[in-house]
Each structure stands twice: as C-alpha cells, then as structure tokens.
Amino acid sequence: MAKQLQTLGEFIIENQQAFPYSSGELSRLINSIRLAAKVVNHEVNKAGLVDITGPAGATNVQGEDQQKLDVYAHEKFIQTLTNREIVCGIASEENDDFITIKGSHGDHQNKYVVLMDPLDGSSNIDVNVSVGTIFSVYRRVTPLGTPVQLEDFLQPGHQQVAAGYIVYGTSTMLVYTTGCGVNGFTLNPALGSWYLSHPNMRYPEDGRIYSVNEGNYIHFPQGIKDYIKYCQEEEEDRPYTSRYIGSLVSDFHRNMIKGGIYMYPPSSKAPNGKLRLLYECNPMAFIAEQAGGKASDGKRRVMDIEPTELHQRVPFYCGSKNMVDKVEEFLARY
C-alpha cells in the first residue's frame, strides 16, 4: 500500500516546538493562511467558468459587486487573518496603506504583522496560467498594547519569522518556511486537505534555467546583457534554457525544483525594477535561502536591505546559488 502522506495539520502540530516563540500563535497563523488559500483556490479555479474576471467595481446580474480576483484574494486573506487573535496589522500589495487590527478586545495585544501579495501575476488569470499568493510574517517591534506602526512593517527581511507562497498551478501547493527549511504541501481538492508532498525542498546549487523578461533586453544594464549572452553561449553545459511564465511564484517554484535563476533587473524605464521588496522579494528570498539558494539585488543580500517605504521596489536576482553568484560577478564588471 502507498505510504500515507502527512497532512499539513499533522505537520504543524509535530513541528510546533521548532517554531520560534512557540506559543502556538504562529501555527494558528499558518492555519488561517491555509484556510484562505483554499477559498481563493476555489475561486481561481472557477475563473472563466463564471464571469469573475471582470474589472473591480462592476456589478453582476444579481446586482452584487463583482470583483477582480486579486481584490477578492486580498479580502479573503484579510478576513481570515483578522478573525483570529494573532495578527495586529496587514500590509498588502493591493492597499496603499497598512491595515491595523485591534483584536476582539480592542487592546492591540496581537504579536504578528503579515505582508502579502494576495494574487501575484494576476494578469495571467485571464489566460489560464498559474498565479500565486506570497506572504511574509514578522514579529511587531513596537510595544504590545499600542496600535501597530509603519516601523513594524519596514523591517529587513532577515527578521522574518515565516514566509511562503501558494501556487495555483496544475495542482495547488502551499510552500513555506519558518526558518527550519522549506516544505511543500499539495492540496487534494476532493478532500480539501494539504499533504506534505515536497518535504525539505532544496535549490540545486547549479541550474540551467534562466527566467527573465527578455523583451526589456535593450533597457537592461550592460552586466545583465552580458550575463544573458553568457547563458546563451555554446559551452559545456550551455546554452541554458529560457523559461519565463511571468508569474514570479511559478517561475520561482519551477527553478527551485529544477535549478535556475529568476531575474527582474533594473532598466532604463524602471530604475529599481518592478518587484516589491516587502511583498515579493523578501519572502521569496527567505524561502530561497532556507532551501540553500540565494537572493540578491545585484550587490547586496536582499534580506539585508533596510526598507524605507511599504511599496519599495528593488532589482531581484534569485535562485540557485552559483547562478546568482555569477550574475553578481557580471554586474560587478561595470
């Protein structure tokens, strides 16, 4: 008989002792994320079937407000995280400002802040291509009992206590870390349960896949242009393969399994690149490092950047360690 896979619930209970500040709160937080993920997954799967991909603000035939899936995902995650006494604030790529959560007694006693991109790569939704959710968790730095402040969110990535993503792909997976390696769980949609399908995920040290939007090539820094040419050269293990979905979560997920690098370089059009430090780069960097990979802005470790604003953008190079080292080497030539 096939080996019975551990469920996410069982895994959380078994590993609770390994969590930092193991009061069970972080476990409950992960629990609420897995619940919201199921709800969002259900809705994402219906895209195209029901008329849900229309613009936010439109109304459907029942006269209900119709929402774009990224707004829907944002609201589902906020609702689920707000209903538990764990989170004191949430910042989302979908909101200009952070949201303060008082807790049911109005006493601001909750410890954690969550930053998230509720539906990343959402332009892929309309064409039935994988999208994802990215989340990042920190302990607040301001005193308990007071409303959460901007500084609680502007923490460098190395302070994260947990980070993860959900990829709504051919199957739906939740991949996360609490600083003790990376584990991946696959949703069985019939049962609504997550199973530990990818224990202890590791980034291959080397890879042969590069993922970048080459349409921006002429706007890239010379070091990146040279690196792309290097990837394409006829050498022992080259040319590499180019794979770009345009969904960070999916590109990252594939590269972590197969070995590769994801790049969103600065360009003359977007001097800091496109990706957001707090909602996209830091959580992916934490997962990458926990899996033995690397994440850099071209010069520095992404997780050492001191954030100055919520929606800050940074160039992003993330993946197999030796490949990211190589990109840094090319960039350092100029």
Residues near Mg ion, by CB under 5 A = 117, 120
Q: Could you say whether residue 328 binds ligand AHM (CB under 6 A)?
A: no
Residue 172 or 247 with smaller CB distance to ligand AHM: 247
Cα(301)–Cα(303) distance, integer angstroms: 5
CB of 91 to Mg ion, least distance (A): 13
Residue 120 or 328 with smaller CB distance to Mg ion: 120
Letter string b/e over residues 293-304, b meaning 16 or more CB atoms within 10 A of that residue's CB:
bbbbbbeeebbe
CB of 279 to ligand AHM, least distance (A): 8
Cα(80)–Cα(39) distance, integer angstroms: 10
Residue carrying the six token digits 């799967």: 45
Q: Could you say whether residue 274 binds ligand AHM (CB under 6 A)?
A: yes
Sign of CA dihedral 278, 283, 284, 290: positive
Residue 11 or 317 with smaller CB distance to ligand AHM: 317
Residue nearest to Mg ion (CB): 120
Q: Could you say whether residue 197 binds ligand AHM (CB under 6 A)?
A: no
Given a contact cutoff of 8 angstroms between Cβ atoms, the answer to whether 17 and 62 are in contact is no
Neighbouring-strand partners of residue 261: 210, 319
Strands 260-264 and 209-211: parallel
CB of 207 to ligand AHM, least distance (A): 17
Given a contact cutoff of 8 angstroms between Cβ atoms, the answer to whether 228 and 38 are in contact is no
Q: Side chain identity at 194, as an amino acid letter?
A: W
- Count of residues engaged in binding ligand AHM, rule: CB under 6 A: 10
Residue 328, contacted partner among Mg ion, ligand AHM, none, CB below 5-8 A by kind: none
- DSSP SS3 for 36: helix
Comparing C-alpha atoms, which of 237, 248, 247, 230 is closest to residue 206?
237
Residue 161 or 167 with smaller CB distance to ligand AHM: 167
Given a contact cutoff of 8 angstroms between Cβ atoms, the answer to whether 314 and 303 are in contact is no
CB of 106 to ligand AHM, least distance (A): 33
Q: Could you say whether residue 121 binds ligand AHM (CB under 6 A)?
A: yes
* Residue choice 183, 247, 267, 290 for contact with ligand AHM (CB under 6 A): 247
Q: Could you say whether residue 103 binds ligand AHM (CB under 6 A)?
A: no
Residue 64 or 96 with smaller CB distance to ligand AHM: 96
The contact set with ligand AHM (CB under 6 A) reads 93, 117, 120-122, 213, 246-248, 274
